Chain A
Amino acid sequence: MKRIVLCCAVVLGLVFGLALGQSQAAEPLKIGAVLSVTGPASFLGEPEKNTLLMLEEQINAKGGVAGRKLEVIVYDDESDVNKAVLSAQKLTKKDRVAAVLGPSISGSTLGIMKFFEESQIPLISCAASEKIVNPVNKWVFNTPQLDRHAVIKILQAAKKKGVKSLAILTVSDGYGQSGRAVLQELIPAQGFTLAADEVYGPKDTDMTAQLTKIKELGPDAIICWGTNPGPAVVARNMKQLGLTTPLYMSHGVASDKFIELAGPAADGIMLPAGRLIVAGQLPDAHPQKKLLLDYAAQYQAKYKAPVSSFGGYAWDALMLVVKAVEMGKSARPEDIRDNLEKIQGFVATTGTYTYTPANHNGLDESAFVLVVIDKGGWKIID
Chain B
Amino acid sequence: MNISSLLQYLISGLTTGSTYGLAALGFTIIFNSTGIINFAQGEFVMLGGMFSVFFMKWFGLPIAWAVLLAALATMIAGALIERLAIRPVKGASPINLVIVTIGVSIFIRGLAMLVWGKDTYALPAFSGDKPIAVLGAAMMPQSLWVLGVSLAMLAALKAFFSHTIQGKAMLACSFDRKAASLMGIGVERMVLLSFMISALIGAVGGAILAPITLTSFDVGVLLGLKGFAACILGGLGNPFGAALGGLVLGVLESLGAGYLSSAYKDAFAFILLLALLFVRPQGLFGRKSVKRV
Interface residues, chain A, with chain B CB atoms under 8 Å away: 40, 42-43, 172, 198-201, 203, 205-206, 208-210, 212-213, 215-216, 228-229, 232-233, 239-242, 257, 260-261, 263-264
- Chain B: CB-nearest residue to A205: B213
Q: What's the least CB distance linking B135 to chain A, in Å?
A: 13
CA distance A172 to B264 in the complex (A): 10
- Chain A: CB-nearest residue to B225: A203
Say yes or no: A241-B8 contact (C-beta < 8 A), given A205-B214, A232-B214: yes
CB of B73 closer than 8 Å to a CB of A: no
Say which one of B12-20, B95-103, B176-184, B235-243 lies at the interface with A. B12-20
Is the pair A43, B214 in contact by a Cβ cutoff of 8 Å? no
Is the pair B5, A213 in contact by a Cβ cutoff of 8 Å? yes
Say which one of B26-34, B115-123, B199-207, B273-281 lies at the interface with A. B115-123
CA distance A64 to B139 in the complex (A): 60
Q: What's the least CB distance linking B256 to chain A, in Å?
A: 8
Is the pair A229, B262 in contact by a Cβ cutoff of 8 Å? no
CB of B216 closer than 8 Å to a CB of A: yes
- Select which of B2, B19, B129, B263 is within 8 A of A239 by beta carbon: B129
- Chain B: CB-nearest residue to A46: B118
> Knowing that A209-B9, A229-B120 are A-B contacts, what are 16 other residue pairs whose CB atoms are under 8 Å apart, sorted by A's residue number?
A42-B118, A198-B262, A200-B257, A205-B214, A208-B8, A209-B255, A209-B265, A210-B257, A212-B8, A212-B9, A213-B257, A213-B258, A228-B120, A240-B131, A242-B133, A263-B129
Is the pair B131, A203 in contact by a Cβ cutoff of 8 Å? no
Is the pair B214, A209 in contact by a Cβ cutoff of 8 Å? no
Q: What's the least CB distance linking A373 to chain B, in Å?
A: 15
Is the pair B138, A210 in contact by a Cβ cutoff of 8 Å? no
Q: Which of B120, B140, B216: most chain A CB closer than 10 A? A: B120
Is the pair A205, B122 in contact by a Cβ cutoff of 8 Å? no
Say yes or no: A242-B122 contact (C-beta < 8 A), given A206-B15, A209-B254, A210-B262: no
CA distance A43 to B216 in the complex (A): 13
- How many chain B residues touch the partner (CB < 8 A)? 40
- Select which of A203, A242, A264 is within 8 A of B129 by beta carbon: A264
What are the interface flags for B139-158 relative to A under an 8 Å C-beta threshold, 1 for contact and 0 otherwise? 11000000000000000000
Interface residues, chain B, with chain A CB atoms under 8 Å away: 2, 5, 8-9, 11-13, 15-16, 19, 118-122, 129, 131, 133, 138-140, 209, 212-214, 216, 218-219, 221-222, 253-255, 257-258, 261-263, 265-266
Is the pair B262, A205 in contact by a Cβ cutoff of 8 Å? no
Q: Which of A40, A42, A229: most chain B CB closer than 10 A? A: A229
Which residues of A lie under 8 Å from residue B254 when comparing CB positions?
Answer: 206, 208-209
Q: What's the least CB distance linking A42 to chain B, in Å?
A: 6
CA distance A233 to B122 in the complex (A): 10
CA distance A241 to B19 in the complex (A): 20
- Select which of A209, A233, A242 is within 8 A of B262 by beta carbon: A209
Which residues of B lie under 8 Å from residue A209 when comparing CB positions?
Answer: 8-9, 12-13, 253-255, 257-258, 262, 265
Q: What's the least CB distance linking A212 to chain B, in Å?
A: 4
Which residues of A lie under 8 Å from residue B265 when comparing CB positions?
Answer: 201, 209
- Select which of A216, A240, A260 is within 8 A of B140 by beta carbon: A240
Q: What's the least CB distance linking A204 to chain B, in Å?
A: 8
Which residues of A lie under 8 Å from residue B15 when comparing CB positions?
Answer: 206
CA distance A209 to B120 in the complex (A): 23
Q: What's the least CB distance linking B54 to chain A, in Å?
A: 16
Is the pair B222, A203 in contact by a Cβ cutoff of 8 Å? yes
Q: What's the least CB distance linking A364 to chain B, in Å?
A: 31
Q: Can you list 15 A-B pairs, Cβ within 8 angstroms, ordered by A?
A: A200-B257, A205-B213, A209-B8, A209-B253, A209-B254, A210-B258, A212-B12, A212-B258, A229-B214, A232-B120, A242-B131, A242-B138, A261-B120, A261-B121, A263-B129
Say yes or no: A216-B2 contact (C-beta < 8 A), given A203-B222, A205-B19, A209-B9: yes
Which residues of B lie under 8 Å from residue A198 when comparing CB positions?
Answer: 257, 262
Q: What's the least CB distance linking A77 to chain B, in Å?
A: 16
Which residues of A lie under 8 Å from residue B216 when comparing CB positions?
Answer: 229
Which residues of B lie under 8 Å from residue A240 when comparing CB positions?
Answer: 131, 138-140
Is the pair B214, A233 in contact by a Cβ cutoff of 8 Å? yes
CA distance A48 to B245 in the complex (A): 44
CA distance A205 to B212 in the complex (A): 7
Which residues of A lie under 8 Å from residue B263 when comparing CB positions?
Answer: 172, 199
Which residues of B lie under 8 Å from residue A264 when comparing CB positions?
Answer: 129
Is the pair A212, B5 in contact by a Cβ cutoff of 8 Å? yes
CA distance A253 to B258 in the complex (A): 25
CA distance A264 to B103 in the complex (A): 39
- Chain A: CB-nearest residue to B256: A209
Which residues of A lie under 8 Å from residue B131 when comparing CB positions?
Answer: 239-242
CA distance A242 to B136 in the complex (A): 10
CA distance A75 to B253 in the complex (A): 41
- Chain A: CB-nearest residue to B12: A208
| 4 closest Cβ pairs, A-B complex | A205-B213, A209-B257, A199-B263, A208-B12
CA distance A263 to B210 in the complex (A): 14
CA distance A163 to B9 in the complex (A): 28
CA distance A264 to B16 in the complex (A): 22
- Chain A: CB-nearest residue to B250: A206
Q: What's the least CB distance linking A214 to chain B, in Å?
A: 10
Q: What's the least CB distance linking B22 to chain A, in Å?
A: 12
Which residues of A lie under 8 Å from residue B209 when comparing CB positions?
Answer: 205
CA distance A120 to B263 in the complex (A): 41
- Chain B: CB-nearest residue to A210: B262
CA distance A228 to B261 in the complex (A): 23
Is the pair A257, B119 in contact by a Cβ cutoff of 8 Å? yes
Is the pair A206, B138 in contact by a Cβ cutoff of 8 Å? no
Q: What's the least CB distance linking B95 to chain A, in Å?
A: 27
- Chain B: CB-nearest residue to A240: B131
Which residues of B lie under 8 Å from residue A260 when comparing CB positions?
Answer: 122
Say yes or no: A200-B262 contact (C-beta < 8 A), given A205-B212, A261-B122: yes
- Chain B: CB-nearest residue to A243: B138
Which residues of A lie under 8 Å from residue B262 when comparing CB positions?
Answer: 198-200, 209-210, 213
Which residues of B lie under 8 Å from residue A233 when comparing CB positions?
Answer: 213-214
